[in-house]
Amino acid sequence: MSSFDELKENKDKTKKPKKLDAFELRELKFEDAIIKDKRSFRRIYLDILFREHKILFTFLTCNDYNLFYIKFARFIFQVATDTAINIFFFSDNSMHKIFLNYGKYDFFQQIPQIIYTTIISQLIDILLCYLSLTDKHIYEIKKLNSTYKEKEKLKCIKIKLFSFFFFTFIVFKFFWYIVAVFCAVYKETQSIFLKDSLFNFLSGVLYPFVLYLFPSALRKLSFKLEIKYIYRLSDIIPIF
C-alpha cells in the first residue's frame, strides 16, 4: 500500500461523523439518542419551539426542507381557522348574555369559548401538518439508494401538497361564507367576535411556550435516568 493510500485511509478513520440536526436527533431511537443527543434542555426546548410555534416556524425557521410558501399558506389558514371556529360557539345562551351585558365584552365569560376554539384549531392543524410538512420525506429520500423509491416518495409529496391546497381552498371558502353571514346578521356582535378571534390567536401564540417545556424536560430526564419509557412519552408532544 502506498503512503498516499495509507494517508487517505487514516483520514477516513479520523473523519468526524456527520453532525445531526434537530429533526434527525428527534427521530433517533432511544439507544442512539442517549449517546448522540448532547443538547442542553434550552437547546431542545428552542428546537421544538422553532418547529412547532406558528410564527417562529413560518418566518424564522429556514433550511428545514419545508417550502416557505406552503408554511405561509398554512399560517394564513391557521389565522382563518381561529377566526371562523368562534362562530360555532355563539349560541342563543351566549348571545343572551351579551344582550344582558348591553353588548359589553366580558373576557372571563368568553374563556371557555376561547379554550374550545383553540383545541379544535389544534386538531385541524394536525391534519395540516400531515399534508403540508415535507421535511420527513426529504430525509427519507436522502437515505434511499433506489431511484424508483425516490420517485415514489416525490409522488407522495406532490399528492399531499395537492390535497393540502384543495382542502384549505374549500374550507377557506366555507370560513369566508360563514364569517360574512354572521357579521351581516349580528352587526352588534362584530366587535366581540373580533376580540374573541384576537384572543384565540394570542392564545395559540403563547401557550406553546409553556406546553413544550414538558417534552423538553422529559427528554432530558430520560437521558439522565436512562429510562426508555420517559423518552417515548416525551415524543408524544409534538405529534409531527
pLDDT tens per residue, range 174-220:
999 999 998 888 887 788 888 888 888 888 899 999 999 999 999 99
Looking at the domain assignment, is residue 43 inside a domain?
yes
Indicate whether 4 belongs to any domain: no
Does residue 19 lie within any of the structural domains? no
Burial 66-95 (b: 16+ CB within 10 A, else e): beeebbebbbebbebbbbbbbbeebeeebe
Residue 18 lies in a domain: no
Q: pLDDT tens digits, residue range 111-157?
A: 777 788 888 888 898 899 999 999 988 988 888 877 878 888 899 99
Task: Considering only residues 191 and 107, tell me which one the structure prediction assigns the higher pLDDT.
Answer: 191
The cell for 86 is: 368562534
Average of per-residue pLDDT across 73-98: 79
Average pLDDT, integer, range 79-90: 85
Q: Which domain holds residue 48?
A: 24-234
∠ CA 155-161-164, nearest 5°, is 145
Residue 74 located in a structural domain? yes
Please check whether residue 11 lies inside any domain of the structure. Answer: no
Assigned domain for 215 exists: yes
Closest listed residue to residue 213, CA positions, set 238, 187, 176? 238
**12 lies in some domain:** no
Count: domains in the chain: 1
Taking alpha carbons only, the member of 14, 35, 188 closest to residue 99 is 188
CB 23 within 8 A of CB 64: yes
Instruction: Write down the pLDDT at residue 194.
Output: 85
Least confident span in 23-37, 68-82, 131-145, 159-173: 131-145
One-letter amino acid identity for 110?
Q
Of 236, 231, 240, 239, residue with least CA distance to 28? 231
